[in-house]
Amino acid sequence: MAEAAPIDFRTSPERYRHWNLGFDAGVAYLTMDVNEDAGLKPGYKLKLNSYDLGVDIELADAVQRLRFEHPEIGAVVIRSQRDRIFCSGANINMLGLSTHDHKVNFCKFTNETRLAIEDASEHSGQSYICSINGIAAGGGYELALACEQILLADDGSSAVSLPELPLLAVLPGTGGLTRLVDKRLVRRDHADFFCTTAEGVRGKRARDWRLVDKLIPPSKLAEETKKIAEEVAAKSSRPKDAKGIALPPVERSIEGDTIRYGTLTVEIDRERRAARLRVNGPTAQPPPDAAAIHAQGAGFWPLALARDLDDAMMHLRLNETEIGTWVLQSQGDATLVEAYDALLAREAAHWLVREIVLYWKRTLKRLDVSSRSLIALVEPGSCFAGTLFELVLASDRSYMLDGAFEGSNLPAATVKLTSMNFDPYPMGNGLTRLASRFLAEPKHVDELKDEIGKAIDAEAADELGLVTFTPDDIDWEDEVRLVLEERAGFSPDGLIGMEANLRFAGPESLETKIFARLSAWQNWIFQRPNATGPEGALKLYGTGKQSKYDRKRA
């Protein structure tokens, strides 16, 4: 049997098969029209505007492009091209045919896309509005939940529902339950009824229970949606006369176990089940101001690196599931990285710079929630400064060489803090990675501001708590080898659970709740025979046969 082609996350509007993107009066209209014969893999049809990962890859691309290519857009309407159907959610046959790791990675990517929608509404001045003209079930309603406003046709048949429990013996996999009670503040008893009623809720009850925001007669739905969206767009802070920048396809080449990007190289070590991600620092001084950044467009080093790193992570997540450890390395001039950070901080008020920093925030968050062991290596020639030092702070462990390698002319490794380490890149818990690291010593974070701009050697980095271990040249190779071999020898399931628990210390947020529950629910429930066994609900859906449940509460 031929090996399946790797999943490619690179796309663009002219290649969309499931979405149409239009513009009018400061509003973008993102219309869902799923091609049922264009599933990502064979074996199922995407009927009733149901979706698979391929549909969501296009949605994620559109959300990203709207932020960078269309600064004039202040509101985005998500709607359906189909009559009386908005979206029936994730395709059930696709879920039934998919491997467990694909299902969980699908749910995670879908949730990250929903979070990107919410981030755009909160931070980018692009408010999302969902206009529902029929049935919004499961993941379809979860897409609506990610929007700031939900408009529902008041026709007696249009409804919203989360039917996963009664129909499939699983749960809404992209944060539906959490958004229901934490974001929309639906009462617990109402939510309980709603989530155990396969047919969902419509009309006045849907509005009164906070499941939707407004009911509109079906004959006026398009007109009222347009009016509401244009009012929202008019109030947006986005620069209506600015010109966006194009996001061309991310360029990469794959040769055997090496993946090369313009700013990043990934080398896969299959024996140790590890991938080395080596970031290339900038090779030239940063441009002088925001106008020059705009002129460089997608070639601006911080933006180019964020796009390359984002694509590399998604490729490894979905196509290299047995590669359980990511080793984060860098090479280049830390002084140049520091200069780019200074530019980002200085021009933070410019819309494009804001979007670049927000993109880095989301990219680092994707790293945080990736189910991989993260090991950072700080070596001579590294350029872990500011924004790149966040990669070290995101790691489960970090090793910094004390001194130089014998026979090398490279000076001893150092790290640098910049202002970008102290505010712009919060984790899902709302704290910076430094604040999460030093929960027991919050004053230490303020003290670290005195170190901004200094080249911090291994001894000082150890004393400041910025790295985990500082072996010398004699022990370096053995230390690195042992941690990779150790990680490869542990249970991947156990590591996923341990890492997810340890990474998000501190306060809870909507985001941390969603991913914690996603890890627990989907990794457990998706493997239970009640859902995926031969007589499980997910396997028998649509056959007319009754599922046979193991009735024990575990």
Q: What is the pLDDT of residues 513-529, one digit of tens each?
A: 988 877 666 667 888 88
Strands 135-137 and 85-87: parallel
Share of the chain above pLDDT 70, in %: 99
Q: How far apart are CA 509 and CA 112, in angstroms?
A: 15
Is the pLDDT at 439 greater than 70, yes or no?
Answer: yes
Q: How far apart are CA 212 and CA 206, in angstroms?
A: 6
**Over residues 277-287, mean pLDDT:** 98
Note whether 258 and 225 are same-domain residues: no
Note whether 375 and 442 are same-domain residues: yes
Note whether 225 and 264 are same-domain residues: no
pLDDT tier for residue 3 given thresholds of 50, 70 and 90:
low
Which among 173, 535, 424 has a CA at the least distance from the CA of 433? 424
- Summarised one tens digit per residue, pLDDT across range 368-382 is 999 999 999 999 999
- What average pLDDT does the chain have? 95
Note whether 204 and 267 are same-domain residues: no
Strand partners, 456: 415
Read off the DSSP letter of residue 269.
Answer: E
- Element counts in the chain: helices (H) and strands (E): 22, 19
Length of the chain: 554
Note whether 285 and 218 are same-domain residues: no
Which among 157, 162, 50, 66 has a CA at the least distance from the CA of 106? 50
Q: What does each C-alpha distance from 8 to 112, 120, 189, 315, 393 come to in angstroms?
A: 17, 24, 42, 7, 29
Note whether 209 and 282 are same-domain residues: no
Note whether 333 and 422 are same-domain residues: yes
Q: What DSSP element (H or E) covers 90?
A: strand 89-90
Query: 331-351: string of b/e by CB count within 10 Å (b at 16+)?
Result: ebbbebbbbbbbbbbebbebb
Which among 132, 11, 23 has a CA at the least distance from the CA of 62? 11
* The one-letter amino acid at 17: R
Q: How far apart are CA 305 and CA 419, in angstroms?
A: 19
User: Does residue 486 sit within a domain?
Assistant: yes
| pLDDT value of residue 2 | 44
Q: How far apart are CA 251 and CA 307, in angstroms?
A: 10
Query: 31-43: string of b/e by CB count within 10 Å (b at 16+)?
Result: bbebeeeebbeee
- Summarised one tens digit per residue, pLDDT across range 470-479 is 999 999 999 9
- Summarised one tens digit per residue, pLDDT across range 117-160 is 999 999 999 999 999 999 999 999 999 999 999 999 999 999 99
Is the pLDDT at 28 greater than 60, yes or no?
Answer: yes
For the stretch 35-40, contacts whose Cβ atoms lie closer than 8 Å and that sit 24 or more positions apart, written own/partner, are 39/91, 39/94, 40/7, 40/94
pLDDT tier for residue 27 given thresholds of 50, 70 and 90:
very high
Structure tokens at 330: 């860098």
Note whether 31 and 106 are same-domain residues: yes
Residues 163 and 138 sit within 8 Å (Cβ to Cβ): yes
State how many domains the chain has. Answer: 2
331 by DSSP, 3-state: which?
strand
User: Does residue 429 sit within a domain?
Assistant: yes
User: Does residue 380 sit within a domain?
Assistant: yes
Where residue 162 falls (left for φ over 0; alpha for ψ -120 to 50; beta otherwise) is: beta
User: Does residue 122 sit within a domain?
Assistant: yes
Token look-up 């014969």 returns: 37
**Over residues 187-210, mean pLDDT:** 97
Q: Where are the beta strands (DSSP E) in 351-402?
A: 373-378, 397-400
User: Does residue 120 sit within a domain?
Assistant: yes
* The one-letter amino acid at 312: A
Residues 376 and 468 sit within 8 Å (Cβ to Cβ): no
Torsion of CA 470, 475, 477, 483, to 10 degrees: -60
| pLDDT value of residue 518 | 73
Query: Which pTM does this prediction carry?
Result: 0.96
What is the domain extent for residue 395?
253-502
What is the CATH number for 261? 3.90.226.10
| pLDDT value of residue 1 | 33
Q: How far apart are CA 459 and CA 450, in angstroms?
A: 17
Note whether 265 and 205 are same-domain residues: no
Q: What does each C-alpha distance from 114 to 36, 330, 397, 481 come to in angstroms?
A: 22, 31, 30, 38
User: Does residue 442 sit within a domain?
Assistant: yes
User: Does residue 521 sit within a domain?
Assistant: no
Note whether 392 and 297 are same-domain residues: yes
Note whether 382 and 336 are same-domain residues: yes
**Over residues 496-523, mean pLDDT:** 85
Taking only Cα atoms into account, the Rg of the chain, rounded to an integer number of angstroms, comes to 24
User: Does residue 413 sit within a domain?
Assistant: yes
Alpha helices for 442-503 (secondary structure H) = 442-448, 458-463, 473-489, 492-503
Note whether 135 and 281 are same-domain residues: no
Residues 91 and 55 sit within 8 Å (Cβ to Cβ): no
Is the pLDDT at 454 greater than 60, yes or no?
Answer: yes
> Minimum mean pLDDT among 255-264, 343-352, 365-374, 541-550: which range?
541-550
Q: What is the residue-wise DSSP string for 122-154?
A: HHSS-EEEEEE-SEEETHHHHHHHTSSEEEEE-
The domain boundary residue, chosen from 483, 502, 521: 502
The domain boundary residue, chosen from 181, 208, 235: 235
